[in-house]
Amino acid sequence: MSTSEKREQTPLVQPLSSPQLPLPRPKNIVRTTLKYIVPLSLVIIYHSFIAPLSLSSIRPYSQVELTAKEDARCPVQPPVLNTGNDWDVVNDHEYASLATKRLSRAVQINTESYDDYPKNASDPVFNKHYEFAHYLSYEFSKLFKDPIKYENVNVHGHLFTWEGTNKKLKPILLMAHTDTVPVLPATLDQWKYPPFEGKVTVNATKDTPGTWIWGRGVSDCKNTLLAIYGSLERLVTEGYKPERTIIIANGFDEEIGGSRGAGHISEVLLERYGPDGIAFLIDEGFTGISNDYGATVASFGMAEKGSVNVNVKVETLGGHSSVPPPHTAIGIISLLLAELEAHPFKPILSPKSPFLKNLNCLAEYAPEFPKSIKHELKDPRQWDELAQQLAKKDRVLNSFLATTQAIDLIKGGVKVNALPEVVDATVNYRISFTSSVDETLSHVAQVLKPLARKLGYTISAFNESHACHHENSTSHITLSVPGGQGLEPAPITSDRTKSFALLGGTAKAVFGNNTIASPSAMFANTDTRWFWNLTSELYRFTPTLITENLNQHTVNERISLEGHLNATRYFYKLIRNLEGWQAE
């Protein structure tokens, strides 16, 4: 309450009015004093202490709006950072020729990973990585000897450590994996060139001007792997001595979870450097360099979605298919899955999400960014409606805005004239950056329980102590998580750090002074999940133009030579820019 409001209040004790009455009989002084003092004290205490406390958490909407807008703003742009020597890799024709041959050969060595691979890294299915390791050690021999220390981790993992001259400084960690997703045999006729040929083309199509390298894994992520190796090789050749220790980590099973590769490497590093012992790390990312809406933007993945698989199992009585019920088990599970798809997760624009900051960066700096969206971004009250509009426009945008669900597996039935007794399906959820595994599972249960009751089925959801029973039901639905756990969304990296300024300033030096450094996010999972204890500054970033780095995980995967060379220059310049840089 304000001072002016207090002055306008009726006084607590009023003066007596005339005419005066005879004085009453004297009363107990203590009792009289308490009669007035106690209420007065309570009023003072309430207005001085209790009322402010009860109201302090209630802010005017304008203040809430201001806070949301501040949290979601585009970060202050870092200056261009260009310390020490530079390397114009794109115009280094001798190296460009060498890099082309190296990347082509890397594609020719098949390093596919399959989901059913055993946990034992010594299993013969991983022997293909011996050939790839031999190739790397031959082509980049300077990385496998002094001054760089090489370690083999869990058979096929690679760990390089280039000790810095100042041991007090935390190391940085650069990452890339050596395995690839498989090529589906049914898609072979859709490839322009065989996926493991490592085809090099020059001006092959209007969409691929200049030199391009084609094949499985060339983009995800042998481009990044060889770009990092090439930058270190150059620095060693130049006689460079880093002030800060540089670590390179390469897992070999990222495409199937990373537990054998990055999982083991992270344990080695945690024991060596301790919790929060790394200054920052950079791993692969769908984010990179874009030229959208008239601006060059370097988008750094500073958040990563979580994931969880949900198994939906239907169990019911069997019998001969000549006497079927209204819905067989396959029919029931179809209804359940259709119900899930009819209730998708709501897209949201959260001020906590780096994706909203990415939109605000475009709104602030990109001259061709749609004015209508720019206007809606200014008002947090319109964010919900804007999220709905964006999600409807594009599946990729929806993946940035919401938890997604994909029904990927279903099995059931053994014979055409036998009613199926057990049918199950698996649904993959990619959990929104600001949500959780529990929130996702709760949504699934809330959607399916009413339908189960309507169908006359009992249902137990995720190890509930009490199933939801239906009287006289002989059929049951079980919701479970294969393996018993999911992956929570990654910690969100702050954009108000010295590492963000370092990475953004380096991008400006390589891709142009006017490049905008922007937070973004990663809706797929990476090996960074294994390193959360080592640093809170996690970046997923491929320093290549997105239009020159195409078709990861699908047919005709390819990258332009210029894109690969720019990635090489980025890592070279980043390491050079570490000189004198203080994270601590």
Check the annotation: does 276 bind a ligand.
no
CB < 8 Å & 24+ apart, contacts of 366-372: 366/292, 366/293, 366/294, 366/295, 366/297, 366/516, 367/293, 367/294, 367/295, 368/293, 368/294, 368/295, 369/293, 369/294, 369/295
Q: In what order do the strands lie in the sheet with 422-431?
A: 404-412, 422-431, 306-315, 476-480, 458-461
- For residue 431, CA distances in Å to 71, 355, 478, 529 come to 22, 14, 21, 14
Burial-class residue 311 by CB neighbours within 10 Å (0-12, 13-18, 19+).
Answer: middle
Structure tokens given for 48 = 């001085």
Let me know if 254 is a catalytic residue. yes
> Binding residue per annotation — 557?
no
Q: Quick one: DSSP state of residue 142? A: G
DSSP category for residue 416: T
Q: What is the pairing mode between strands 476-480 and 306-315?
A: antiparallel
Is 553 marked as a binding-site residue?
yes
Gyration radius of the chain over CA positions: 31
Q: In Å, how far from its chain's centre is CA 423?
A: 33
Tell me how many helices (H) and strands (E) the chain has: 16, 18
Amino acid identity, position 309: N
CA distances to 300, 328, 395 from 347, rounded to whole Å, are 21, 34, 11
The residue from 179, 233, 557, 562 that is catalytic is 179
Max CA pair span of the chain: 116
Q: Is 177 annotated as a binding residue?
A: yes
Catalytic residue among 139, 233, 254, 548: 254
Half-sphere exposure of 390 (CA within 13 A, CB side): 26
* C-alpha to C-alpha distance for 6 and 292, rounded to whole angstroms: 57
Query: What per-residue string of b and e applies to 176-204 under the rule 16 or more CB within 10 Å gives b?
Result: bbbbbbebeeeeeeebeeebbebbbeeeb
Q: Respond yes or no: is residue 139 known to be catalytic.
A: no
Give the catalytic positions in this structure: 179, 254
Binding residues: 177, 220, 255, 283, 553
Binding residues for Zn(2+): 177, 220, 255, 283, 553
